[in-house]
Structures are given as C-alpha cells and as structure tokens.
C-alpha cells in the first residue's frame, strides 16, 4: 500500500535550500527559505549557486551555532543496489570517502571503455552507437534497467529516471552527479549528514549542522500539483508556460507556514528566468511541505535503500 503523509514533530531547520544542479555553473540556481518563528518560513527569490567548492561552508556560516540547515540537491545521492553488489559496496557513505582515490582513482572519469570501477559512460558524442548495451555489459548486467535505484523506477505518475551511470542525452544525470559528489559532498563528507543514510530526517534536523538530501523536480511537481512538461501541453523552456504553471503559488503561499517574500512573488508572477530557477523554486516549496509536516518523508525500510541506494525526499512508495 502507498505510504501517506503523517505529521511529525521536530526542531525545524533555520535555513532550507533547494539547488537545481548542472555541470554548467550558469545553470546552477538555488532558492532559500529562512525560518521566521518556530514553524514558519519566508521564501526568497532564486540566486546563483556560486562557487561550488565553498557552497556548504557559505551556507553553514549563515545559521547560528546549535541550529540546523537542510540542503536539497537535484542529483542522485546513492548507488544502484545491483552495482553496489557487483563491487562489494555495503555503505554509500563509506564508498563516497573512497571514490577518486586508490583503486577507485578513475571512478569520476567518464569513459568510452567503462568498467566496474570506472562506470560513467559514454564520452560526449554526436555519433550513434550501442552505448547502453556496452555500458550494461561492462557493469555485468543484462541491460541498464537493472542499474536503476528503487526510487528511480517508473511510478503511476512519473516515468523512470535515467540510469545514474549513463552520460548521454537530455535525461542523463551522471555528469551532474559527478560534479556534486566530487566537488560538494566528498570534500565536506566529515562535516555533513546524508539523508537517509545517517538517520531519519526528524533526528538529523534535531541536531545542529548540515543535512543533505536528494530532490527531483518531477517529484516536486507532483507535490505541488504542477502541470508542465511531457503530455501537459506546456514546456519548461517557455516563460509564459512557467508563469501559468506557477500561478497558484502566489495565493497558496501568501499566508501560513510557507510564505513567499515580495521579491519571490515577483519572480513567480514574471515566470522565472529559466527552467533552472523554476525547478529550484519548485524543489524548495516541496521541501518546505515536508519539513513543516504537510508531507511524509518516509523511506522503504530496507538496508538497500537506507545504506546504499538512498531515496528522493518526499517520494511515496508502495510497501512490498
């Protein structure tokens, strides 16, 4: 059966950030919300992510000692269980401390000759070829569908996500994951908490420091009842379509626990600069629904999900 939202009590983070991610720094945008009392947030307009190497320390410096902050990144955080089994990984956090070093030295290097310790493929190309089958064979699987995490599988409301390691096409996420893992998470690993690997969200946010979670725009659209993208007659590349899709945010988030600042309201009414800042705003509003208890952040109660694969924040699941 599907797990439904439940209200839970915890100390709310002082700062909540949603970052829409890309290999291109010009397309990396984030939106912030600051807690203004014990249970309400003010949402501010989109801003560039800036220097990725200093992002975590910059955000951490903006909250007081003893307080927590939650950052959602739009890239996969976790490994496919099938792949982890092949390479003997039993903990994503432990693996993150090793990638790029020693026997994992080539892990982050995209290659046309992938292998189990260099899994990202192929290199950028305009030529056609059997890249999917080649990658699956190199990773000892029959096809790439076996290399999707549970949270990436097709649902009744969303198509399946692309395989983490496949780096070709508009739906690919591998290149952005490399940048996020190598340049943001791994460099700060000892000073951050990873949800759900380090515990449930309530517990993590009740402690001071930085908690990082995975978010996904397509999932956020469902939470916010946004109609845009494939099959809706609207495209994210159209400012007019973005404006229409986000129209109800102006009234829905004008009072209550989640409130748009005047500046953020202007961005909504204008239709945003691009699909990147639009996605960052959608991601943040979805995250705020979760931290204020309006949506559940439960995850499947399996070792695979909680230690290896991870989960998309707020995604519902069907119990086995």
Write down the residue that tokens 């956020």 correspond to: 220
Write down the residue that tokens 């927590």 correspond to: 68
Contact by Cβ (8 Å): 237, 96: no
Provide the whole-model pTM: 0.94
**Cα distance between residue 89 and residue 103, in whole Å:** 13
pLDDT of residue 4: 41
pLDDT of residue 11: 74
Phi, psi of 315, rounded to the nearest 5 degrees? -75, 130
pLDDT at 209 over 70: yes
End-to-end CA distance of the chain: 8
Q: Are strands 29-35 and 209-214 parallel, antiparallel or unpaired?
A: unpaired
143-182 residue pLDDT tens: 999 999 999 999 888 888 999 999 998 889 999 999 999 9
DSSP letter at 147 equals: G
**Cα distance between residue 119 and residue 223, in whole Å:** 33
Which one is the CATH code of 15-76+182-309: 3.30.2320, 1.10.3470, 3.40.50, 3.30.420?
3.30.420
**Angle, CA of 167, 148 and 141, to the nearest 5°:** 85
Per-residue b or e along 143-182, where b marks 16 or more CB atoms closer than 10 Å to that residue's CB: ebeebbbbbbeebeebeebbbbbbbbeeebbbbbbbbbbb
Work out the pLDDT band at 317, boundaries 50, 70, 90. confident
pLDDT of residue 320: 59
- Return the domain boundaries, the chain: 15-76+182-309
Q: What percent of the chain is predicted at pLDDT more than 70?
A: 96
Question: Under the phi-then-psi rule, with left for phi > 0, alpha for psi from -120 to 50, and beta for the rest, what region is 64?
Answer: beta
Q: What is the mean pLDDT of residues 253-279?
A: 96
pLDDT at 10 over 90: no
pLDDT of residue 8: 39
DSSP 270-283: HT-SSHHHHHHHHH
Contact by Cβ (8 Å): 205, 10: yes
pLDDT at 35 over 60: yes
219-259 residue pLDDT tens: 999 999 999 988 889 999 999 999 999 999 999 999 999 99
Q: Which residue in 110, 276, 246 sits closest to 179, CA to CA?
A: 110
pLDDT of residue 120: 97
107-152 residue pLDDT tens: 999 999 999 999 999 998 767 789 999 999 999 999 999 999 999 9
């Amino acid at each position: 059966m599907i797990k439904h939202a439940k209200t839970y009590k915890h100390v709310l983070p002082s700062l909540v950030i949603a970052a829409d991610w890309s290999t291109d720094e010009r397309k990396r945008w984030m939106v912030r919300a600051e807690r203004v009392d014990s249970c309400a947030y003010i949402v501010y307009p989109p801003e560039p992510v800036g220097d990725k190497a200093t992002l975590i320390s910059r955000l951490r410096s903006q909250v007081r000692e003893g307080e927590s902050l939650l950052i959602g990144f739009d890239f996969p955080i976790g490994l496919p269980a099938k792949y982890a089994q092949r390479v003997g990984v039993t903990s994503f956090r432990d693996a993150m401390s090793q990638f790029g070093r020693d026997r994992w030295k080539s892990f982050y290097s995209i290659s046309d000759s992938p292998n189990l310790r260099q899994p990202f493929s192929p290199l950028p190309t305009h030529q056609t070829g059997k890249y999917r089958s080649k990658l699956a064979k190199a990773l000892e699987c029959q096809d790439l569908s076996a290399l999707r995490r549970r949270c990436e599988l097709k649902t009744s409301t969303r198509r399946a996500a692309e395989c983490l390691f496949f780096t070709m096409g508009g739906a690919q996420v591998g290149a952005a994951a490399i940048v996020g893992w190598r340049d943001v998470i791994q460099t700060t690993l000892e000073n951050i908490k990873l949800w759900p690997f380090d515990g449930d969200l309530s517990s993590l946010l009740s402690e001071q420091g930085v908690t990082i979670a995975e978010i996904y725009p397509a999932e956020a659209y469902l939470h916010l009842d946004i109609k845009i993208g494939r099959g809706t007659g609207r495209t994210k590349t159209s400012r007019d379509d973005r404006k229409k899709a986000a129209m109800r945010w102006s009234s829905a988030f004008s009072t209550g626990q989640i409130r748009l600042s005047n500046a953020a309201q202007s961005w909504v009414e204008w239709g945003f600069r691009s699909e990147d800042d639009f996605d960052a705003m959608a991601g943040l509003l979805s995250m705020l629904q979760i931290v204020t208890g309006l949506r559940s952040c439960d995850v499947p109660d399996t070792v695979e999900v909680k230690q290896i694969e991870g989960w998309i924040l707020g995604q519902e699941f069907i119990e086995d």
